[in-house]
């Protein structure tokens, strides 16, 4: 019996700890102010014009608020879009540039280190309707000091891929 206690006893001490685990997985924290680092990014021919120069993220357990600031058209005033996405899997609608309608969903990766936003944008300009479908995968690196967005989208104009890296400011 002594032998049983000495070999198995440490396991019994762990039972209360294991039972107290509430099953909530780790989720990366993307909250903060982020500034585009073009030298770490792969923006391609047109990506620099369409990539946010600054991103502000407010994150809660159930949702994330993302405000992206883009350069103005033809050197004009910067423009900012804000969307709130819920981690419950619901599709949310927002209005963007040119009164576009954007439908988005967000999903955590299995390990909680990244999330992916899937979106559909429809807008009309000069009498033509354009539809864009895409994904943005958000990951953190460098101990939470670097945010990387892998963006892939398709439209009638073809495929578009960008890797944008942001430094926490």
46-85 pLDDT per residue, tens: 666 778 999 999 999 999 999 999 988 777 899 898 999 9
pTM as predicted: 0.81
Given a cut of 80, is residue 10 above it in pLDDT? no
- Which whole number is the average pLDDT over 124-145? 94
Instruction: Tell me what the mean pLDDT of segment 30-36 comes to.
Output: 98
In a domain? residue 19: no
pLDDT at 71: 85
Look at residue 112 in the predicted model and tell me its pLDDT: 94
Name the percent of the chain lying above pLDDT 70: 83
What's the confidence (pLDDT) of residue 42? 94
Q: What is the CATH number of the domain that holds 110?
A: 2.40.128.20
Is residue 2 in some structural domain? Answer: no
How many domains would you assign to the chain?
1
Question: At a CB cut-off of 8 Å and minimum separation 6, what does 133 contact?
Answer: 119, 120, 121, 153, 154, 155
β-sheet with 92-95: strand ranges across: 79-86, 63-70, 54-59, 32-36, 158-168, 146-155, 128-141, 114-125, 101-108, 92-95
Measure the CA–CA gap between 144 and 28, rounded to whole angstroms: 9
pLDDT above 50: residue 11: no
Question: Which residue, 79, 80, 83, is CA-closest to 64?
Answer: 83
For residue 102, the enclosing domain spans 31-168
pLDDT confidence tier of residue 15, bands split at 50, 70 and 90? very low
In Å, what is the CA distance from 128 to each residue of 98, 99, 124, 156? 12, 13, 5, 12
């Amino acid at each position: 019996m002594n032998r049983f206690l000495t070999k198995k006893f440490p396991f019994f001490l762990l039972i209360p700890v294991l039972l107290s685990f509430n099953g909530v997985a780790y989720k990366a924290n993307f909250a903060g102010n982020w500034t585009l680092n073009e030298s770490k990014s792969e923006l391609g021919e047109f990506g620099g014009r369409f990539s946010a120069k600054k991103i502000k993220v407010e994150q809660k357990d159930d949702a994330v608020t993302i405000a992206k600031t883009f350069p103005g058209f033809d050197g004009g005033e910067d423009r900012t879009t804000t969307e709130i996405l819920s981690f419950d899997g619901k599709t949310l609608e927002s209005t963007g540039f040119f009164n576009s309608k954007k439908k988005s969903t967000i999903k955590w990766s299995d390990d909680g280190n990244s999330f992916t936003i899937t979106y559909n944008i429809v807008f009309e300009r000069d009498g033509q309707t354009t539809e864009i479908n895409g994904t943005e995968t958000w990951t953190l690196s460098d101990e939470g000091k670097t945010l990387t967005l892998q963006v892939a989208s398709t439209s009638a104009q073809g495929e578009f891929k960008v890797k944008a890296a942001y430094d926490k400011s």
